[in-house]
Amino acid sequence: MSPASSVTVDFGKKISIAPLREDQANWPTYKEDFVNALRARGLGKYLSGAYVRPTRFEYDSSADNAEEKAEKVDEHNAQIQELLRGTITATTWLQIRTAGTPMEMWEALKKKCTEKHVSTVENVRDAMRQVRCAEGEDPHATIELLLMYREQLAEMGRELDADDVSAPSADAHAARANPRYKGAIIDSGATEHISPKKESFTSLRSIPPMRITAAEGDSFVASHRGTLEL
């Protein structure tokens, strides 16, 4: 069962935040909203562990006053627990509810979501890198799919990096696989070969431009001749 689209708890001032999605993909934004909502009302100390429930012996005032302050702390903890429970799925709540205090529940949730978040981000990036638009197909569907993945990454607090938007060439893949790779070598159908990379030649001299047809039918214009290192 998924949590509601928004949850509101009254801490004297109302707190309303978007819940954690069932797949926990929006964990970074949920975490920020949850913590900021409590800090804005002076309750962030309950999550950081900086606040401990007072006892009657910690006050110079009467026992009644000490008990009143302790009850206020319990009330705040209950409100935080209510907000936490209302913004996560029932399954997730059952997994963290026995952790102890709201702070300990929050730490258990952070550990659970952080570990899953890393793998989820990589899954989305891998899916994005696999997107292809076949020749002749309408590119709009492909673009919409890529935009959807980009939006998912944004919800996860991540931006696109160079690997997400670049398309490595065949030369780049070959160079990573073989450090000695010198570039594409094209079979000319004879005892001579051609290469588009001058640095592949150990010796090179200029010749009058001449047209060459490779074995597969592609045509090239040769401008130099030399010894090619294979």
pLDDT in tens, 86-130: 889 999 999 998 988 888 899 999 888 877 666 667 777 777 777
116 and 213 housed in the same domain: no
What is the value of pTM for the model shown? 0.49
Least confident window among 49-63, 69-83, 152-166, 213-227: 49-63
Residues 197 and 152 sit within 8 Å (Cβ to Cβ): no
> CA-CA distance, 4 to 2, in Å (whole number)?
7
214 and 133 housed in the same domain: no
Residue where a domain terminates, one of 119, 137, 162: 162
- Mean pLDDT, rounded, for 134-139: 78
H helix count then E strand count, the chain: 8, 6
154 and 201 housed in the same domain: no
Place of tokens 């928004």: 6
Q: What does the block give as tokens for 200?
A: 């592949």
Q: How many domains is the chain built from?
A: 2
The half-sphere exposure of 38 on its side-chain side, counting CA atoms within 13 A, is: 23
Q: The domain containing residue 28 runs over which residues?
A: 7-162
Q: What does the block give as tokens for 125?
A: 């990036």
